[in-house]
Each structure stands twice: as structure tokens, then as C-alpha cells.
């Protein structure tokens, strides 16, 4: 039996949730189009995170497919004065998430279809092929992706710039902080810290995110009247962000924009330079991606529209200088708190001990190479048996590779030795009881967990990628090629276990490198003067 065209899914709709979602969307479009009549049409969406917005610059013509069972209804908001335009805005209200969706926001990883048989037979051969692809992408990066900074002209004196109205100074100054998303990650940790620092500096804080997601960490935003989280990620197409942010900047007295891996904010900068010239811009970058240079490359391309580049490592200072010839506005700020008196514990591991605990802490994504991790644990298990050592391990993390890790642990009979824990585990407690932290990553910025490991007596062993060499001594760095990474991991652990002098030397070098980095400016020390200047700006 067919469903009547007039049927509405009211029984399946949480009315309060629906009203809240509609109110958020309406507020966005009223800000974007303050002088137009707005004609909203709502449907119940099939996607749990994306509203599929469509804006028509006229009245909408309805057809039968518009009145399908998911049709919820219409809402008209007149501008309140004559002679205005009409905007028809079509929105699908994201459905409520299904059980389990919020716990696993990504589909389980699968090998490339043509190579699935290879992965089943020999996972490390598959990893080696992927490594070769990654290295090829890195070699071709400059050919395939622009490393030319975009131009920014002030125009000709013969045609002076048009006068633009300033922001509403009746409002206290605000900062717009653009997240990639509000999920687990190093860039996101810094962005959350920046929200708190901005509040301390006296700024009102407006948060947006570029990637549609459940934004599972949104509840970590402080419950504070000076914080807004505007759901552009659900209800506004990226091409409309520039004009929306222009309107928002005028209405909310936005004085500063801080970009944390938020692509549509970069894309809005040229428009904002013309329409809101009082706004200062700062961005923070972490990791140079193999394929395209990642956000440091995007940042370098947009550098003529950015007042301050904050970076977390000296590797990135070099990257901006060598690729974009930027030196004058690069600010190194480490992702550490200022430590007045540094007291680091002795290493948990002792030479010749009969029990060894290995930890891995990170997202289950290819960047962390979970397959190489399991192969390393397998090799270490064999080494431990040969030397009469009881080896155990804990893997902490969630993501697309979690099922693959479980499958491989079972296949290699490691489930009794290796525990898998969720991302919200007690990390300090784990590091205090662990001897080794493994990071066989394909790429890193400078992994925060390495700082934590040293502070809890755990030895980080990492591939020589990104800025890891700034913290990790040379003799604890691993080859990147997968087979070599596994082999060198076992060799390093064997040296630590057999040679007391080697172990003592690594402790001394780890502590020396940690103290050197800790003497650098912190991210808070670099960013707070910029925030305070924005908070005091009223002209």
C-alpha cells in the first residue's frame, strides 16, 4: 500500500529536537539574508549530520517529489519592509542518530577491492604497497598542488577603496574560532584550549566547524554565556560562508578569526579582507601531509590574508620558510603548559626485566598504521618468548581500523596478551604502568602522547616522521618502510632490554630534549597577547 502524499513522519520525529534544529537553521539564514523574505521548506532528512541546504533566489515551484512522506512543512519569515527579495531555502533536518552511530562515526576500513586477496594472505605486503603510494604522493606533492601564495592587492590610488561600515561596538569584541570538527584530535585539543584562553582574555567566543559530524565533543565547550556554537556544518553550504561571516562579523563585533584546520574559513579570507578589513586572522597548523602538504600548505597559499601563523614545531617553521619564504609572522608555540620546575621520572623499564608492557595510544586511522602496529606486537611477542619475557600490551583508540586490529590480533593469537581499550581510557595510569609507547605512524606533527609518555616514565619509540626527531633521540627512531619499521622496533626494544648503558643514555637524551622543548614559548604564551589585543580593540 502506498503512503499518502500528505503523510508527515510526526510519529517518528522528536518534536523538541525538530524545533531546535529549525531554530538554528532559521537564525543562520536570517543573519545571512537580513533584508529578504525567507521561505523555508523542511523535510525529515536521511543523513544524521548534514542538512543538504539549497537556496533558490526566487519563489520555489513545488512538484510531487517535494511532497514525499518526509515532507515536514513550510515556514515564511517576512523581512518586515517592502521592496525586498525572496529566498526559498530547502533544508533536510538531520535525523536522530541510530544506536551505535555516535560511537562509530566512520565505516570500518576495507582494503582496496583489487588487493583484498593480498591483504588476507599477507597484510604487510599490502602495507608496503600503500607505503610506496604514499612516498610517490610525497614526491609529486609540489607538482600536483600549488605552493604559490595567493596575491592580495590594495588596489590603485586612482580608485580609493569604498568606505565600509564597522562592527556593532555595542557588543563586546568577539573571536570566531573555526574547528575542522569537534571530534578527537590534536588540532581539536588546541582549538578547545583556545576557546578557554579567549574567554580568559575577555573575548566572546563563536565556534564553527567545517566538516559535518556528530560533533561528539561539543559538550566540552564551556557552559558559558559568552560562547556560541553555530551549526554551519549542518545548514550552510561552504560557498555561502564568506557572506555569512561578513554579516556575522558586523552583528557580533568579531575582531579576530582563529583557523584550526577549517577550509571554508580560509576560502572566506579574500571576501573578508574587502568587507571587514578590521578583522585580524591567525591560524594554527600541525602536520605536513604527504599527499598535498595538508593545512600548512593551505595556510602558506593564503598567507597574504593571514596576520599570524602559529606553529607547534620547528619543522613547520622551516616548512613555511623553505616553501613560502615566510619568516616575519611565524610564531612557534609548543603544545605544552609552562613548567617552572621540570621534574621528570626515571624510566619505568629496567634492563633485563622479566615483564614488559607496551602501549599504543591513538586514533585507528591509517596515519597511525594500526596494521604495522599489530605486526610489531606479533614480532615482539616472538622476541619475548625467545628471551623468557612476559609481554603484554594495551591498544587505546577508536576508528575505522578498529575491526581490522581485532581481526589481526585474533588471527595471530594475541588476544590474551593485547587488550583493546576505548579512547576515553585513563591515559596517565596506562603510561605509568607501561615500559614502551609504540608509534609506527605514517606521519605525525609532533605527537602529544610522546610528551605525556616521557612525563610518566614511558619510552616513546616512533617512526622518523614529521617533527618527532625534535623530541625522540635518534636511536629510538624507526625506519618508515613497514617491514623495516617492524624489524627496527624489535631491535630498539632488544637494545633497551639488554644494555643498561643504552637504556640510561636514552633516558638522558629524552629528558634533555623534553627540557629543550619545554623552554620554548607555549601556545598559550604566543596566542594570549593576540587575543588580548583583540579584546581591547574598539576602533
- Asked whether residue 317 is assigned to any structural domain, the reply reads yes
Q: Using one digit for the tens of pLDDT, what is the confidence trace for 344-353? A: 999 999 999 9
The reply to whether 313 and 384 lie within a common domain is no
pTM score > 0.75 for this model? yes
Is a pLDDT exceeding 50 seen at residue 115? yes
Q: What is the pLDDT of residue 4?
A: 47
- Asked whether residue 330 is assigned to any structural domain, the reply reads yes
The reply to whether 394 and 425 lie within a common domain is yes
The reply to whether 486 and 530 lie within a common domain is no
The reply to whether 236 and 205 lie within a common domain is yes
% of the chain residues with pLDDT over 70: 96
Cα 396 to Cα 206: distance, rounded to the nearest angstrom: 32
The reply to whether 360 and 329 lie within a common domain is no
Is a pLDDT exceeding 90 seen at residue 364? yes
The reply to whether 405 and 496 lie within a common domain is yes
Candidates 260, 269, 273, 244; CA nearest to 161 is 273
Is a pLDDT exceeding 50 seen at residue 6? no
Q: Using one digit for the tens of pLDDT, what is the confidence trace for 170-216? A: 999 999 999 999 988 888 999 999 999 999 999 999 999 999 999 99
The reply to whether 324 and 184 lie within a common domain is yes
Domain boundary among 94, 122, 157: 94
The reply to whether 328 and 419 lie within a common domain is no
- Asked whether residue 116 is assigned to any structural domain, the reply reads no
Annotate 342-402 with three-state secondary structure.
CCCCCCCCCCCCCEEEEEEECCCCHHHCHHHHHHHHHHHHHHHHHCCCEEEEEEECCCCCH
Element (H, E) at 285: strand 280-285
Cα 529 to Cα 175: distance, rounded to the nearest angstrom: 14
CATH number at residue 329: 3.40.50.2000
- Asked whether residue 101 is assigned to any structural domain, the reply reads no
Q: Please answer whether residues 65 and 79 qualify as being in contact, where contact means their C-beta atoms are separated by less than 8 angstroms.
A: no
Which pLDDT band holds residue 2 (cuts at 50, 70, 90)? very low
The reply to whether 328 and 406 lie within a common domain is no
Q: What is the pLDDT of residue 83?
A: 63
Which pLDDT band holds residue 93 (cuts at 50, 70, 90)? very high
Cα 356 to Cα 443: distance, rounded to the nearest angstrom: 26
- Asked whether residue 119 is assigned to any structural domain, the reply reads no
Domain boundary among 71, 94, 117: 94
Q: Using one digit for the tens of pLDDT, what is the confidence trace for 255-271? A: 999 999 999 999 999 99
Which residues form the domain of 33?
12-94
Q: Using one digit for the tens of pLDDT, what is the confidence trace for 464-475? A: 999 999 999 999
Question: Which of the two residues, 340 and 88, has the higher pLDDT score?
Answer: 88
Q: What is the pLDDT of residue 103?
A: 72
Q: What is the pLDDT of residue 3?
A: 47
- Asked whether residue 507 is assigned to any structural domain, the reply reads yes
The reply to whether 230 and 369 lie within a common domain is no
Cα 337 to Cα 193: distance, rounded to the nearest angstrom: 11
Quote the longest CA-to-CA distance of the chain.
Answer: 86
Domain boundary among 94, 126, 144: 94
Q: What mean pLDDT, rounded, does the chain reach?
A: 93
Cα 351 to Cα 21: distance, rounded to the nearest angstrom: 59
The reply to whether 500 and 486 lie within a common domain is yes
| Residue linked to cell 559568552 | 226
For 114-137, what is the mean pLDDT?
96
Which pLDDT band holds residue 155 (cuts at 50, 70, 90)? confident
For 289-309, b/e burial (b = at least 16 CB within 10 A) is: bbebbbbbbbbbbbbebbebb
The reply to whether 313 and 289 lie within a common domain is yes
For 129-156, what is the mean pLDDT?
94
What three-state secondary structure class fits 175? strand
- Asked whether residue 382 is assigned to any structural domain, the reply reads yes
Candidates 370, 490, 359, 365; CA nearest to 430 is 359
- The DSSP 8-state label assigned to residue 59 in this structure reads P
Number of domains in the chain: 3
Question: Which of the two residues, 512 and 105, has the higher pLDDT score?
Answer: 512
- Asked whether residue 199 is assigned to any structural domain, the reply reads yes
Amino acid at each position: 500500500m502506498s503512503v499518502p502524499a500528505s503523510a508527515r513522519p510526526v510519529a517518528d520525529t522528536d518534536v523538541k529536537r525538530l524545533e531546535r534544529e529549525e531554530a538554528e537553521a532559521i537564525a543562520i539564514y536570517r543573519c545571512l539574508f537580513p533584508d529578504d523574505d525567507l521561505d523555508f521548506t523542511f523535510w525529515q532528512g536521511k543523513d544524521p549530520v548534514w542538512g543538504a541546504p539549497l537556496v533558490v533566489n526566487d519563489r520555489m515551484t513545488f512538484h510531487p517529489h517535494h511532497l514525499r512522506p518526509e515532507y515536514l512543512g513550510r515556514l515564511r519569515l517576512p523581512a518586515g519592509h517592502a521592496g525586498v527579495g525572496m529566498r526559498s531555502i530547502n533544508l533536510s533536518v538531520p535525523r536522530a542518530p541510530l544506536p551505535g552511530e555516535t560511537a562509530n562515526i566512520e565505516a570500518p576500513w576495507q582494503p582496496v577491492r583489487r588487493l583484498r586477496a593480498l591483504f588476507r594472505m599477507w597484510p604487510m605486503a599490502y602495507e608496503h604497497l600503500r607505503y610506496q603510494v604514499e612516498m610517490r604522493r610525497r614526491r609529486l606533492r609540489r607538482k600536483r598542488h600549488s605552493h604559490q601564495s595567493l596575491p592580495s592587492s590594495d588596489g590603485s590610488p586612482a580608485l580609493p577603496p569604498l568606505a565600509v561600515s564597522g562592527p556593532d561596538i555595542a557588543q563586546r569584541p568577539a573571536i570566531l574560532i573555526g574547528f575542522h570538527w569537534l571530534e578527537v584530535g590534536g588540532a581539536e585539543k588546541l582549538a578547545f584550549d583556545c576557546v578557554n584562553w579567549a574567554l580568559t582574555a575577555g573575548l566572546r567566543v563563536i565556534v564553527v566547524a567545517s566538516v559535518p559530524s556528530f560533533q561528539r565533543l561539543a559538550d566540552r565547550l564551556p557552559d558559558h554565556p559568552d560562547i556560541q556554537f553555530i551549526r554551519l556544518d549542518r545548514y550552510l553550504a561552504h560557498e555561502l560562508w564568506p557572506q555569512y561571516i561578513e554579516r556575522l562579523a558586523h552583528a557580533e563585533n568579531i575582531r579576530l578569526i582563529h583557523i584550526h584546520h577549517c577550509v571554508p574559513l580560509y576560502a572566506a579570507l579574500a571576501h573578508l579582507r574587502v568587507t571587514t578589513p578590521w578583522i585580524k586572522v591567525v591560524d594554527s597548523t600541525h602536520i605536513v601531509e604527504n599527499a598535498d602538504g595538508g593545512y600548512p600548505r593551505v595556510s602558506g597559499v593564503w598567507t597574504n590574508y593571514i596576520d599570524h601563523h602559529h606553529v607547534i614545531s620547528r619543522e613547520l617553521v622551516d616548512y613555511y620558510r623553505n616553501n613560502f619564504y615566510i619568516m616575519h609572522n611565524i610564531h612557534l608555540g609548543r603544545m605544552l603548559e609552562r613548567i617552572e620546575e621540570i621534574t621528570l621520572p626515571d624510566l619505568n623499564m629496567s634492563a633485563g626485566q622479566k615483564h614488559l608492557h607496551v602501549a599504543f595510544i591513538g586514533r585507528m586511522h591509517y596515519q597511525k598504521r594500526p596494521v604495522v602496529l599489530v605486526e610489531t606486537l606479533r614480532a615482539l611477542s616472538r622476541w619475548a618468548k625467545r628471551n623468557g619475557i612476559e609481554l603484554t600490551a594495551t591498544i587505546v583508540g577508536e576508528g575505522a581500523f578498529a575491526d581490522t586490529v581485532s581481526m589481526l590480533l585474533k588471527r595471530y593469537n594475541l588476544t590474551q596478551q593485547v587488550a583493546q581499550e576505548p579512547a576515553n581510557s585513563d591515559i596517565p595510569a596506562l603510561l605509568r604502568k607501561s615500559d614502551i609507547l609504540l608509534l609506527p605512524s605514517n606521519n605525525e606533527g609532533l605527537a602529544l602522547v610522546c610528551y605525556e609518555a616521557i612525563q610518566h616514565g614511558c619510552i616513546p619509540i616512533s617512526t622518523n616522521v614529521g617533527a618527532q626527531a625534535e623530541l625522540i633521540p635518534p636511536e629510538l627512531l624507526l625506519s618508515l618502510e613497514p617491514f623495516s619499521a617492524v624489524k627496527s622496533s624489535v631491535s630498539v626494544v632488544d637494545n633497551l632490554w639488554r644494555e643498561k648503558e643504552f637504556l640510561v643514555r636514552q633516558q638522558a637524551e629524552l629528558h634533555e630534549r623534553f627540557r629543550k622543548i619545554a623552554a620554548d614559548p607555549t601556545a598559550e604564551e604566543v596566542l594570549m597577547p593576540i587575543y588580548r589585543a583583540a579584546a581591547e580593540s574598539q576602533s
